[in-house]
Amino acid sequence: MTSPSAYVTLVTNADYAMGATALARSLRVTRTAADIVVLHTGGVGRSVLDPMQQLNCRLIEVEHLPLSDAFNERHARGKLHSAAPFVKGRKPDFHSPLDNFCKLRLWELTEYQRCVFIDADAIVLRNIDKLFQYPEFSAAPNVYETLGDFRRMNSGVFVARPSADTFRHMLARLDQPESFWKRTDQTFLQTYFPDWHGLPVYFNMLQYVWFTMPVLWDWKSISVLHYQYEKPWESDHPKAAMLQPLIDLWHAFHAGDDLPDISAMANPEEAA
């Protein structure tokens, strides 16, 4: 028997399986009654998925979207990063832009009335079940450097209503001749839902805010911490020194260790 609501994440390789394990454990700590669904592609071995199985996640294998060869070529990692390079941070080698479009498989989960998608490189710090009451399509702004970022959406956390019709329409809109979504699913979703409902930034707090906009950082308000760009499990993390308190927090969730009192943790200025 499934819940009417589900948190959904996506695992496309062993690295994101590590992230999803920490995410699932963080959701369990919040005592949510919603299902936790892990969409995973065929390249992920069963042993890698076992930790999520032990956390009572619902594992659903999905295929990549049926997209044209021309679309896939335009959005391959080398082509996309060359045409629309990342200049603010570094994407790890295991990141594959085409994988991101598998997020749209969420709209096929029609056994649920509402879903909240959370990227596998995020952790949840307090219960966020109230998000299931938000309308489709709700997402937080892509804020990590300046206040001007508030006009853009970040697809690391969003609220959606599964629908076979919506999924079909998305596929038709996505793969148009010469279509190019420079930030993959994020650019597409902002275009598909131009009147997206803005969530408070604390439902998707991007880790770079820690050192770029410390005045915005408030541990007592942050509900979801999203490790955009560099990942906390990377051994060659180029920004580890600046983000060490956040990295340590992620590792505590991943390992199932005792968690610190979030509300008592130092703010960026105090931790510096």
Q: Is 165 exposed, middle or buried (0-12, 13-18, 19+ CB in 10 A)?
A: exposed
Q: What are phi and psi of 148, to 5 degrees?
A: -65, -20
Beta strands across the sheet bearing 197-198? 58-61, 35-40, 5-11, 114-118, 153-160, 138-141, 197-198
Answer whether 116's CB lies under 8 Å from 32's CB: no
Domain ranges for the chain, please list them. 5-200
One-letter identity of residue 41: T
Please report which residue ranges of 148-239 form alpha helices under DSSP H.
164-174, 185-192, 209-212
- The pLDDT profile of the chain, 272 residues, written as one tens digit per residue, is 679 999 999 999 999 999 999 999 999 999 999 999 999 997 788 889 999 999 999 999 999 999 877 887 886 755 655 654 544 555 555 457 788 999 999 999 999 999 999 999 999 999 999 999 999 999 999 998 888 888 899 999 999 999 999 999 999 999 988 786 777 899 999 999 999 999 999 999 999 999 999 999 999 999 999 999 999 999 889 999 999 999 999 999 999 988 888 877 888 877 66
The residues with which 39 forms a beta bridge, in sequence order, are 10, 60
Report the top-level CATH class of 5-200: alpha beta
